C-alpha cells in the first residue's frame, strides 16, 4: 500500500495522523538516532524532513537513519529541489498556491524532474497554503510571498478547492514554523467540510490539546515542529 492510500484509509476511518517535522539544519545524524527512540514510543505516524533553508550534506544519512530506526513513513518536505533525498519513502510535492511566485508554483518542480524521475520516491502532489500566523515566518521570507489573511476563510477555501480541482491529493494549511497563532479552527472546519482530499494543518501548534482541537475541527494530519524541538516530552503532555 502506498503512503497516500494509507492516508486516505485513515481519513475514511477517522484515524487521525500526526507528523513530526525534522529540520536537517537543526538535527545531526547522531541526534537522529536519539530522536528515533523517542518517536517510536510516541503517537507520531509520519516523519517529515525538510526546512526552508537547509543546504548541508547529511540529509541522505539523517533520512536513512530516521527511516530504518523508526519504520515510520518518511516524507521529504522540501524548501528547495536540493533537499530531495532518495533515502526517504516519498515527497510532498508542494505547490505554494497561496503565493504568486512562479518559482514555488512550477520552477522548482521543473528543476526537480531529473532527480525525481530516477527515484523511487512516492510523489504526492500537495496544495500548500500559507496562512498569516501573526509574524513573518521562514516560508514567507524564503518564498517572498504574502500569506492569506488569518480571517479570510473564503480566499483560503477557494484556494484549497482550486488546488483540489487542479489535482492536488493533499491540502496543507501552514501558519509557518514557530507561528504566533495556528490556523484558526473556524478556517480548518470550513475547509475540511468543503474539500474531499485529506487536510494537513501545521504551524504554531503548541499543545496536544490544540492538536485534538484541530483534529476535531476536521484536520486529518497535524504537523508538529517547534513544540517538539522545545520539549522532547511534548507528545506525552
Q: Are the C-beta atoms of 56 and 24 separated by less than 8 Å?
A: yes
83 binds ligand 1GP (CB under 6 A): no
* Cell numbers linked to 77: 518536505
Instruction: Provide the sign of the torsion angle of the four alpha carbons 234, 22, 45, 95, taken in this order.
Output: positive
- Of 10, 178, 210, 218, which lies in the binding site for ligand 1GP, with binding defined by CB under 6 A? 178
68 or 231: whose CB is closer to ligand 1GP? 231
Taking residues 123 to 162 in sequence order and writing x for each that binds ligand 1GP by CB under 6 A, - otherwise, the string is: ----------------------------------------
* Cell numbers linked to 227: 513544540
CB of 209 to ligand 1GP, least distance (A): 15
The total of other beta-carbon atoms located within 10 Å of residue 54's CB is 18
53 or 68: whose CB is closer to ligand 1GP? 53
Residue 73 φ/ψ, nearest 5 degrees: -65, 130
- Of 202, 214, 220, 221, which lies in the binding site for ligand 1GP, with binding defined by CB under 6 A? 202
Q: Provide the 8-state DSSP code for 66.
A: H
With left for phi above 0 and alpha for psi between -120 and 50, is residue 218 left, alpha or beta?
left
Q: Are the C-beta atoms of 188 and 110 separated by less than 8 Å?
A: no
Choices 32-40, 157-165, 183-191, 198-206 (CB under 6 A): range interacting with ligand 1GP: 198-206
179 binds ligand 1GP (CB under 6 A): yes
24 or 203: whose CB is closer to ligand 1GP? 203
Which residues bind to ligand 1GP, rule: CB under 6 A?
Answer: 21, 174, 177-179, 202-205, 223-227
Amino acid at each position: 500500500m502506498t503512503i497516500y492510500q494509507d492516508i486516505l484509509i485513515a481519513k475514511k476511518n477517522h484515524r487521525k495522523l500526526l507528523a513530526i517535522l525534522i529540520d536537517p539544519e537543526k538535527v545531526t545524524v547522531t541526534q537522529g538516532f536519539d530522536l528515533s527512540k523517542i518517536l517510536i514510543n510516541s503517537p507520531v505516524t509520519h516523519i517529515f524532513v525538510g526546512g526552508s533553508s537547509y543546504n548541508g550534506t547529511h540529509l541522505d544519512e539523517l533520512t536513512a537513519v530516521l527511516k530504518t530506526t523508526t519504520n515510520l513513513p518518511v516524507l521529504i518536505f522540501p524548501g528547495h529541489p536540493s533537499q530531495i533525498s532518495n533515502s526517504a519513502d516519498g515527497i510532498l510535492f508542494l505547490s505554494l498556491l497561496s503565493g504568486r511566485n512562479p518559482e514555488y508554483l512550477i520552477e522548482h518542480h521543473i528543476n526537480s524532474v531529473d532527480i525525481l524521475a530516477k527515484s523511487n520516491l512516492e510523489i504526492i502532489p500537495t496544495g500548500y497554503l500559507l496562512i498569516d500566523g501573526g509574524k513573518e515566518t521562514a516560508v514567507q521570507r524564503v518564498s517572498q510571498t504574502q500569506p492569506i489573511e488569518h480571517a479570510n476563510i473564503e480566499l483560503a477555501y477557494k484556494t484549497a478547492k482550486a488546488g483540489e480541482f487542479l489535482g492536488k491529493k493533499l491540502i496543507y494549511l501552514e501558519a509557518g514554523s514557530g507561528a504566533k497563532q495556528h490556523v484558526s479552527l473556524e478556517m480548518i472546519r470550513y475547509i475540511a467540510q468543503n474539500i474531499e482530499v485529506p487536510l494537513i494543518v501545521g504551524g504554531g501548534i503548541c499543545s496536544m490539546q490544540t492538536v485534538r482541537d484541530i483534529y476535531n475541527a476536521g484536520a486529518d494530519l497535524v504537523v508538529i515542529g517547534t513544540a517538539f524541538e522545545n520539549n522532547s516530552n511534548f507528545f506525552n503532555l
